[in-house]
């Protein structure tokens, strides 16, 4: 477990690296890399990249590897003292379609202890941009990019919802103790890099997936 400050410092570098890899990937695959979303609130609400059609993508940097891990770590929310997140708990319930009463009873594992979530005063939603973005990307940023997962909007939100209903983990992995997370199945749409080429390793037709991506993002 790490401190909140250390988590932010570590995250900033890998996120920028991951976004650059993702932009290069999209430029190669669909001819458009998208523009980086710079505004803090816009980024919080909608994700990291905005494309010509107005569609957005959330990007996460993480050491994903479908050959090693059959589940993916997803940060759901963070408890905070920031007053601007006063409505965060209710908003979390709205995004995941879980009533506040039911959400408060969700079991939480923290180390060797287990308790219920309870009604949190202020919550910063990590899943809000996933809820608004057309896709959420997870990028293994090692060696100039090793793997890319793309979750469709409904896919990632539904997977997170199902996992949350089974229980949350607090302070898991390299996150701080105020971070709550779940594990979900790996994305059906995924690529691995072979030399300078990205090779499709997912479910279904790559051609069909790329056609939809190009239409939705590049226009």
For 105-135, give one letter per residue: b (16+ CB within 10 A) or e.
Answer: ebebeeeeeeeebeebebbbbbbbbbbbbbb
Residue whose entry in the numeric block shows the structure tokens 């430029």? 27
198, 29 Cβ separation under 8 angstroms: yes
Q: What is the mean pLDDT of the chain?
A: 93
Task: Quote the percentage of the chain above a pLDDT of 90.
Answer: 90
To which H or E segment does residue 30 belong? Answer: helix 4-30
214, 109 Cβ separation under 8 angstroms: no
Q: How confident is the model at residue 9 (pLDDT cuts 50, 70, 90)?
A: very low
Domain coordinates in residue numbering, the chain:
4-218
Q: Which residue has the higher pLDDT, 1 or 26?
A: 26
Looking at the predicted structure, is the pLDDT value of residue 8 above 90?
no
To which H or E segment does residue 61 belong? Answer: strand 56-61
Residue 4 has a pLDDT of 46
Residue 3 has a pLDDT of 44
Q: pLDDT tens for residues 151-198?
A: 999 999 999 999 999 999 999 877 889 999 999 999 999 999 999 999
pTM for the model: 0.92
């Amino acid at each position: 477990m790490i401190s909140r400050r250390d988590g932010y410092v570590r995250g900033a570098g890998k996120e920028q690296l991951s976004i650059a890899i993702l932009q290069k990937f999209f430029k190669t695959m669909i001819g458009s890399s998208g523009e980086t979303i710079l505004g803090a609130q816009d980024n919080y609400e909608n994700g990291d990249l905005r494309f010509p059609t107005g569609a957005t993508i959330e990007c996460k940097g993480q050491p994903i590897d479908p050959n090693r891990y059959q589940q993916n770590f997803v940060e759901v929310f963070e408890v905070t003292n920031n007053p601007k997140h006063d409505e965060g708990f209710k908003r979390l319930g709205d995004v995941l379609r879980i009533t506040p009463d039911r959400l408060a009873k969700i079991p939480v594992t923290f180390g060797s202890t287990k308790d219920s979530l309870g009604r949190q005063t202020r919550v910063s939603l990590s899943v809000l941009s996933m809820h608004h973005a057309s896709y959420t990307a997870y990028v293994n940023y090692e060696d100039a990019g090793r793997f890319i997962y793309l979750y469709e909007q409904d896919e990632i939100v539904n997977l997170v919802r199902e996992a949350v209903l089974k229980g949350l983990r607090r302070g898991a992995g390299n996150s701080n103790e105020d971070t709550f997370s779940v594990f979900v199945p790996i994305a059906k749409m995924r690529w691995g890099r072979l030399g300078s080429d990205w090779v499709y390793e997912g479910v279904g037709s790559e051609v069909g997936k790329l056609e939809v991506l190009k239409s939705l993002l590049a226009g």
